[in-house]
Structure 1
C-alpha cells in the first residue's frame, strides 16, 4: 500500500472519530457513507450503522474519560478506511474534502484535535525527497 494512503487512513480515522462527538456529526457521517456507496455500494448501509454504533461508544468513552477506548475505535476505523482507499485510491482527495468541510462547519470554539499533515517539497534535477507524517526508515545502498 502506498505510504501516503496509509497515513491518510490514520489521519482520517482519527478525525472521523473526533467528529463523532460534535454537532457536525451527521454531515460527516453522510459524507463517509456516500464514499462507501460509491466504492462498495453493498456495504454502505452497514457502514452507516457501524458509524452510529461507534458514535455511541465514543460518547460513552468520553463521558468515562476512556481515552484508550477512543484510540481503539479510531484504530478500527483506520483499518476500514485503509481498505476503502486501497479499493479506490482516487477517493482520497474526496475523503479529505468531506473531513475539511465538517471541520469548517464546527461552531466557534469547538475544535477537533486531530492530526493534520501538510507537506510540500520541490526538488530540482535528480534530487530526492523523503517526507513522512510519522516514522520513516530509509535504507540506501
Structure 2
C-alpha cells in the first residue's frame, strides 16, 4: 500500500498533469512524464507522451460541465498512474514534486496592461451598471449584480 504522503503527491500530480495541458509548460511536463514513466525505455516514454497527447486532445474539444467531468476523470487516471509509479519507484517523488511546482508556477504568472486587471485565481465581480468584458478567462468568473434600489431600499 502506498504511504499517505505519496498518495497525496500522486493526487496533486494527477491534477497538475491536467492543469499543465493548458499552460506554456505542457511540452516540458509531457517530456518529463515520458521520462518518469519510461524509466529509460524510449518506447515506453513515447507511449506515455502519446497517451498524454490523446488526453489533451480529448479535453480540447470539450467545454463547460463536459470539460470539467472529463478533466476530473483524466486527473483521476493520472493520479492512479502516478500512484502506481511511486509505489514501484518512490525515488521519482522529487521529480513529481518538481513537475507540480513547475505547473503551479506557470499558472501563477499573470500580467495586465494599462487599465486592466490580472488575477491568478477565481474572481468574483459586482457590476454596478455595466457588464463584464474579458479577453481570456481561465477558471471561474462569477458576476453578481447588486439589487436595484426599490422603494424600501432608497
Q: TM-score, normalised by structure 2?
A: 0.63
Worse-superposed segment, 87-96 or 99-108: 99-108
- Match in the other structure for 1:31: 32
Deviation digits for residues 3-56 of structure 1 (CA, Å, limit 9, x no counterpart): 111111111000111111222211110111111122766522211110000011
**Structure 2 residue runs without a partner (length 5+):** 111-118, 123-154
1:15 aligned partner: 16
Does the residue aligned with 1:23 lie in a helix, a strand or coil? coil
Q: CA RMSD in A?
A: 2.4
- Report if aligned partners of 1:24, 1:106 keep a CA contact under 8 Å in 2: no
Larger radius of gyration: 2
Unaligned runs of 5+ in 1: 114-141
**Closer/same/farther in 2, CA of residues 14 and 102 from structure 1, 3 Å limit:** closer
Greater share of residues in helix: 1
Greater share of strand: 2
Superposition TM-score, scaled by structure 1 size? 0.68
- Runs of 4+ with deviation above 4 angstroms: 39-42, 110-113
